[in-house]
Structure 1
Amino acid sequence: MGKDSKKDVMFEKMIEQKKEVKIVRRIVFAIALVVLIIGLVGSRAVYKYITESLQPVDPDSEETIEVEIPIGSGLSSIAETLEDEGIIRNAKIFKYYAKFNNESQFQAGTYALSKSMTLDELIQSLKTGKVYREPVFTIAIPEGLTLKQIAKIVEKKTSITEQAFMSYVEDEKTIDDLMGKYPNILTDEIRNENIKYPLEGYLFPATYPFYEENPSVETVVETMLDATAANLTPYLTYLQEQEKSVHWLLTFASLLEREATAKTDRETIASVFYNRLDIDMPLQTDPTVLYALGEHKDRVLYSDLEVQDPYNTYVVKGLPPGPISNAGKSSIDAVVEPSDTDYLYFLADKEGNNHFTNSYEEHLKNQAKYLSGD
């Protein structure tokens, strides 16, 4: 074979090799393009999957689910339990999210959790041992308020009108249902024929968080009764030993709450009332007169003291038929642990300081001394 023939063969081989390279490049490019497309689609799917897993299972859920976290549970088992109970979407995502935020020290216990809770809220609950949720709003109920005053506050904070609130708490079926749910605090005493409102004094003063924009009147009332039940439970043994009732305690405490000023000694006022009750002397406390009248007055007149009403402690001996307002813990404690005195009279001066005495003559002198010019 000549030199020219060899060159031609080599040239043809080079052309064939170039064609092969082009084909390989095209195949590689095609494969790379397919991989890229798959990668893009996959990454979007993964992103969507992770994003959804970080969201609450049901943001609108109001249901609470009891979840038991045993002692010694690790992060993996806790995450699996939450997924099994439907509280979270994905156990692995929860686990990675907790680790990423350096959260792993969780407490054992029984939790009332919701599908509407975020991962952060769940983590805070498991860390503190308490159910943690960011409330949509709160309702602050101060001490010394009547049921009607509470209804006005609820109306300002919710879509529940004062009228709807009062209609609910006065409804006989409502009272029957609530007595069944709260047998330790709601007894037949609230059905006394002289009672103005069965639930008067039974809605505990506190700041209440709510986790939905428009809670029902049932939810609002039962949330407050839950607080009452929780706060009164420590006193049940004492009441049983003294053969007294929750109704008696709340009625007595409501008088202290309404008589109280910023500087009032509730324990000493309680002793005055106890001393009067012991000798069958009328309590003669002005707040009961105002409650009987159903109106607020800056000053109680002598004619007001004569109003014929079961709540007027100027004309009826003993405690009134029921509470005249809600009472805080300090007033309840004062009923349980009053001061040991022989006082029968007291009055508050213009600065709110109380002056006590055990004789009517001294009481009149205190009136002249501290209230002259009224």
Structure 2
Amino acid sequence: MTNKSQEESNKTAKKMLIKNNLVERGNEARIIRKIVAIIALVFILAAGGMILGGYLYIKSALKPLDSENQKQKEVEVPIGSSTTSIGNLLEEKKIIKNGTIFKYYVKFNNISGFQAGNYKFSPSMTLKEITDALQTGKLVNKAVFKITVPEGLQLDQIAEIIAKNTDYSAKEIMEKLDDPKTVDEFAKKYPEIITEDLKADNIKHPFEGYLYPATYSFYEEKPSLDSIIDTMIKQTKDVLADFHGILAEKDMNVHELLTMASLIEKEATAKADRHKIASVFFNRMEAGMPLQTDPTIAYALGEHKVRTMYEDLKVDSPYNTYEHKGLTPGPIANAGKESIEAVLNPADTDYLYFLAEYGTGDVYFAKTLEEHNALKKKHITDKRKEASE
């Protein structure tokens, strides 16, 4: 073979090799595309399956858990229960399929006004039937009696209210509440709120401020005194549950919170801005000033006084905020949620004084003693003179 023929033969072989390589690469590319397409299809089918599965699950969760099961179960919805806690409770009792779905059903349908109480629900009920019952308060049975505890009451006043609605005497109730054994019992049950602070030597009544103001329904003719007290302390625990995070941020404990809230509750009139009153108390403590709040004097004296006299300010008591700086040893009354929230979110002010106008309850704030005295003359002293003439 000549050199020329050899070169042509080599060129032909090289072309064939290149062609074969191109063909092989084309085959590989087709295979890769097929694999990618298959993987993509698998993912699409999986995602579709998940979406479909989720849709079907939600759809089933919106239906009765068991339309054939009409057996009723008693469900107690505590005072202050959130939609989330009610949904979880119904799921635990096997009344509904999913508590979270229940929560969003309530939210998207703008349903509110659920009432506490004892209910009877069955797995055959629809979510609408359940929410309708919770809104209308269709209970298992009517309460035998109710006890209403308003805001700003002291423990002896609450004892009187309990006594009027039960066979227990006010003296018996107070003895129970002041017994250290009672503190120990509830400290074991509610350690997050009942602490050693209640056992301090200078505390007048351990449970002062710990019986939450609310209306309580009782379904027994003669509930035990323990159960009555328990119901009210549990309500305090439930109300405070949402505030533990901010308490930690502010380096404040429950006892301090309830103590400050009680001072605000006793000082606040219907027209008062509790957040501003809270700012005054905090500003005074920061400035090293005594709180000088009159309700603490009445508490120290053990009297429910309408007006504090000058000689009253000399009472020898750790609750005398004219003589002692800082908070009182404990609460001087119970406090509602508004006063509790005011403690945790005081207004940003420079005020150091406030007073309520005689006769109207309008509240005026001042930054200086001079300004405060002028307001006092105008809205209290002069108003009293006018009223007496």
Deviation at 1:76, TM superposition (A): 2.5
Question: Any conservation in 1 of the 2:70–2:122 contact (CA below 8 Å)?
Answer: no
Deviation at 1:70, TM superposition (A): 12
CA 1:198–1:172: 2 relative to 1, 3 Å: same
Contact 1:73 1:108 in 2 (8 A): no
Residue of structure 1 equivalent to 2:156 = 148
Q: C-alpha offsets along residues 220-240 of structure 1, whole Å, 9 cap, x if unaligned? A: 000001100100000111111
- Structure-2 separation of matches of 1:236 and 1:344: 28
305, 323, 336: which is aligned to 2:313? 305
- Is residue 362 from structure 1 mapped to residue 360 from structure 2 by the alignment? no
1:254-333 pair list within 5 angstroms: 254-333=262-341
| Alpha carbons 2:262, 2:333 under 8 Å: kept | yes
Structure 1 residue 164: Cα displacement:
1.2
Residue 183 to residue 71, structure 1, CA distance change in 2 (3 Å): farther
Aligned to 2:120: 122
What is the DSSP-based 3-state SS (H/G/I as helix, E as strand, rest coil) of the residue aligned with 2:92?
strand
Partner of 2:345: 337
Aligned residue type for 2:369: Y
Deviations 1:166-201 (A, max 9, x none): 111111211111100000001101111100011000
Q: Which runs of 4+ in 1 moved over 6 A?
A: none
Q: Which residue of 2 aligns with 1:196?
A: 204
The answer on 1:215 being equivalent to 2:223 is yes
User: Which residue is equivalent to 2:91?
Assistant: 109
Deviation of the 1:121 alpha carbon: 4.4
CA deviations on 1:87-124 (whole Å, 9 max, x unpaired) are 7xxxxxxxxxxxxxxxxxxx9523499xxxxxx94149
Identical counterparts, % of pairs: 46
Following TM superposition, by how much is the alpha carbon of 1:211 offset from its aligned partner in structure 2, in angstroms? 0.3
2:164 alignment partner, SS class: helix
- What is the TM-score when the length of structure 2 is the normalising length? 0.67
Q: 1:257, CA displacement in angstroms?
A: 0.3
2-structure distance, mates of 1:76, 1:278: 65
Amino acid at match of 2:188: G
Equivalent pair of 2:275/2:343 in contact (CA under 8 Å): yes
Q: Check whether the contact 1:72–1:108 (CA below 8 A) recurs between aligned residues.
A: no
**1:180 to 2:188 alignment:** yes
2:361 corresponds to: 352
1:256·1:269 contact (CA, 8 Å) conserved in 2? yes
Of 58, 61, 65, the match for 1:73: 65
Compared CA separation, residues 72 and 153, structure 1 to 2 (3 A): same
Query: Does structure 1 residue 171 correspond to structure 2 residue 153?
Result: no
Structure 2 CA distance for partners of 1:153 and 1:310, relative to 1, 3 Å: same
For 1:314-359, what per-residue CA distance to the aligned partner results, in whole angstroms no more than 9, with x for missing partners? 0000000000000000000100111110000111102100111100
CA distance in 2, matches of 1:124, 1:360: 65
CA displacement 1:196-221 (0-9 Å, x = unmatched): 01100000000000001111110100
Indicate which of 231, 242, 251 corresponds to 1:243.
251
For 1:192 and 1:162, locate their aligned partners in 2 and report how far apart those are by CA, in whole Å. 24
**Helix, strand or coil at the partner of 2:217:** strand
**In 2: Cα distance, 1:240 partner to 1:124 partner:** 41
| Equivalent of 1:371 in 343, 362, 380 | 380
Secondary structure of the corresponding residue to residue 122 of structure 1: strand
Q: Deviations over 1:111-146 (max 9, x none)?
A: 499xxxxxx941499623869332111100000001
Q: CA deviation at 1:248?
A: 0.3
- Residue 243 of structure 1: how far off its partner (Å): 1.6
Q: CA deviation at 1:298?
A: 2.0
Aligned length: 276
**More deviation in 234-243 or 317-326?**
234-243
Cα 1:279–1:333, aligned 2, differ >3 Å: closer, same or farther? Answer: same
Work out whether residues 70 and 109 of structure 1, in 8 Å CA contact, stay in contact via their aligned partners in 2: no
One-letter amino acid of the counterpart of residue 91, structure 2: G
Distance 1:288 1:186 in 2: 22
Q: Distance in 2 between matches of 1:145 and 1:326?
A: 6
Which residue in 1 is equivalent to 2:112? none
* Residues 259 and 331 in structure 2, CA contact (< 8 A), matched pair in contact too: yes
* TM-score normalized by the length of structure 1: 0.70
Aligned CA RMSD, in angstroms, stands at 2.5
CA distance in 2, matches of 1:360, 1:343: 10
Q: Does the CA contact (< 8 Å) of 1:70 and 1:108 recur in 2?
A: no
Shift of 1:297: 1.8
